[in-house]
Amino acid sequence: MKFNRPSQLLLVSMIGLLAATLLTACQIVTIDYLFVATAGSSGSGGAGQIQTFAVDAGSGAIRTVDAAVSSGGATPVSMVVTSDYANLYVANQGSDSVVHFSIADSGVLTAKDTITLDFAPASIAVNSTGTYLYVTGGTNPSELAAYPLSSGTIGSLAAEVPLSLASPNSGDLLVPTGVTVLENGSDVYVTAYDKSAYNPGGNTTSTANPGWVFGFATGSGGALTVTAGSPYQAGVKPSALTGDPTNRFVYVTDFASNELIGYTIVGDGVLNFMVNGPFKTGNEPIALTVEPRGLYIYVVDSLQNSVTSYSIVQATGAASATSSAVGGANPTDTEPVALVVDPALGRYVYTANYLGNSISGFKLDPNSGSLTPTQATPYVTGQNPTAIVAVPHGNHAVQVVTP
C-alpha cells in the first residue's frame, strides 16, 4: 500500500507523538535517594561501602546511581542524615570511627571529616536542628557521647556519660543497641541489655532485669543529665528505639520477647509504660520507625523476614497491627535489619536485608498504613547491608504532617 506525501507526513507525526507519549509514560522521576551501608567484603573487618539508589515516584522501584563509596572504615553499623538532608554520618564499628559525608543535590556523597572514638560505636543519632551528633557503644564501660556539629562538621567531644546500673549491679556488662533524640531535642534515650543477666548459651552472673532504656536531658554546651527514674526497664533484649514526631511517645523493640514496648513521655523526659502495652510483634524484632505524620509504626522482624505495620492511637500512643498485618506480616528478603520511610512523599518503605544482600520495597497506603510490594522488589545490594537512610530529591517537598 502506497501513501502520498501528506499521508506520509501524517503517519510520521502520529508515530512521533506515540513514541513521545510512551517515553513520557515510562520516564523515571526520582523523588528520593537511598543510601545503604554494606560490609563490602568478606570478614567482620572488611572495608565498608555506601551505595546510592534512586527512588522512582510512580512505582517505588529503585535503581543504582553512582559508584559505591568507602564508608571510611570497617564494619559500618549505623547511619543518620541531618534534617536538612545535607549531611550523612556513618558509624564504623570495626574501626571505632564516625565519618561525615556531604550530600549533593544529585545524591553524590563526598567524605569530609572523621572522628575516632574511644569505644566501638553501636548506633548514632542527630538532633533535628543538626547541632549535635550522639554516639553510643562500647562495653565495660558502655557510653553515650555528644559531639557538636557546625555546618555538618563534627567538633570536639562535648559530653560523655557512662551507662551503668545502680549497686549492687553497677559492675554488670551492658551492651548498647540504639540511640534516639526527641524531635524537640530535649531528651536523648539509649537502649541496652545486661549481658551479665541475659547471655543465651553462656554464663550469667547477675539477677538484674536484663533490658533497659537510659534517659538523658540535653543542656547547654551539649551537657547530658540523667533523667529522673532512669534507667527504665525495657523487657529482655531491647534492640532499637524511636520517638514519635509529637514528642509524646517512645517505642522500643524487644528482640528476645517478640514485643513492641511503648512509653509515654511525662514531665522532664521521664518515661512511663503504656498501660495497655507491650504489643506483640513477629519473631526477633530488630528495627523500627514511625512514618513522618506520626500515624503508623513499622517494625522489622529479622527472624520472620517481614515488616509489621501498626497504627498509633493518637490519644494514648497504643499500637495496633493494621489489617494487612493481622494473621501475617509483609514478607521481605532474608534477615531484614534496618528500614526507612521515604521522606519526599512518605509513601514508600524500604528494608535492608543482611543475609539477602538486598533491599525490599513496599508502597505505603496513607489511609490504612498497610504495605504492598513495590515493582521488581527485592533489589540487589552489596554484601551484608546493615543500615539504610533516605533523602528527598531537591525538587520534592518533604511530607510531614503533625497529627
User: For the segment 127-155, what is each residue's pLDDT rounded down to a tens digit?
Assistant: 999 999 999 999 989 999 999 999 999 99
| pLDDT at residue 9 tops 60 | no
What DSSP line would sit under 247-285, residue for residue? SSEEEEEETTTTEEEEEEE-GGG-EEE-TT--EE-SSSE
User: How confident is the model at residue 329, as a pLDDT?
Assistant: 78
Contact between residue 345 and residue 57 where contact means Cβ atoms under 8 Å apart: yes
Looking up cell 533497659, which residue turns up?
212
Instruction: Give the other-Cβ count within 10 Å of 324's Cβ.
Output: 18
For 366-392, what is each residue's pLDDT tens digit? 999 999 999 999 999 999 999 999 999
Where does the pLDDT of residue 328 fall: very low under 50, low under 70, confident under 90, or very high at 90 and above? low
For 190-223, what is each residue's pLDDT tens digit? 999 999 999 999 999 999 999 999 999 999 999 9
Residue 248 lies in a domain: yes
| pLDDT at residue 396 tops 50 | no
User: How confident is the model at residue 386, as a pLDDT?
Assistant: 98
Domain count, the chain: 1
CATH of residue 332's domain is 2.130.10.10
| pLDDT at residue 4 tops 80 | no
| pLDDT at residue 336 tops 90 | yes
The CA-CA-CA angle for residues 347, 249, 301, to 5°, reads 55
Q: Average pLDDT of 322-350?
A: 86
Residue 325 lies in a domain: yes
User: How confident is the model at residue 46, as a pLDDT?
Assistant: 63
Higher pLDDT, 402 or 101: 101
User: How confident is the model at residue 321, as a pLDDT?
Assistant: 87
3-state secondary structure of 245: coil
| pLDDT at residue 402 tops 70 | no
Enter the pTM of the model: 0.90
Residue 66 lies in a domain: yes
User: How confident is the model at residue 144, as a pLDDT?
Assistant: 98
Q: Average pLDDT of 293-298?
A: 96
Note down the domain range covering 372: 29-392
| pLDDT at residue 243 tops 90 | yes
Where does the pLDDT of residue 16 fall: very low under 50, low under 70, confident under 90, or very high at 90 and above? very low
User: How confident is the model at residue 271, as a pLDDT?
Assistant: 98
Q: Could you tell me what percent of the chain has a pLDDT over 90?
A: 84
For 148-186, what is each residue's pLDDT tens digit? 999 999 999 999 999 999 999 999 999 999 999 999 999
Q: Could you tell me what percent of the chain has a pLDDT over 70?
A: 87
Cα–Cα nearest to 138, from 121, 123, 117, 151: 121
Where does the pLDDT of residue 40 fall: very low under 50, low under 70, confident under 90, or very high at 90 and above? low
Residue 115 lies in a domain: yes
Where does the pLDDT of residue 12 fall: very low under 50, low under 70, confident under 90, or very high at 90 and above? very low
Residue 10 lies in a domain: no
User: How confident is the model at residue 327, as a pLDDT?
Assistant: 45
Facing residues of 15 across strands? none
CA distances, 266 to each of 187, 315, 319 (Å): 12, 14, 18
Cell of 21: 507519549
Q: What's the CA gap between 32 and 123, in Å, rounded?
A: 23
Residue 353 lies in a domain: yes
Q: What's the CA gap between 56 and 43, in Å, rounded?
A: 34
| pLDDT at residue 257 tops 70 | yes
| pLDDT at residue 238 tops 80 | yes
Residue 301 lies in a domain: yes
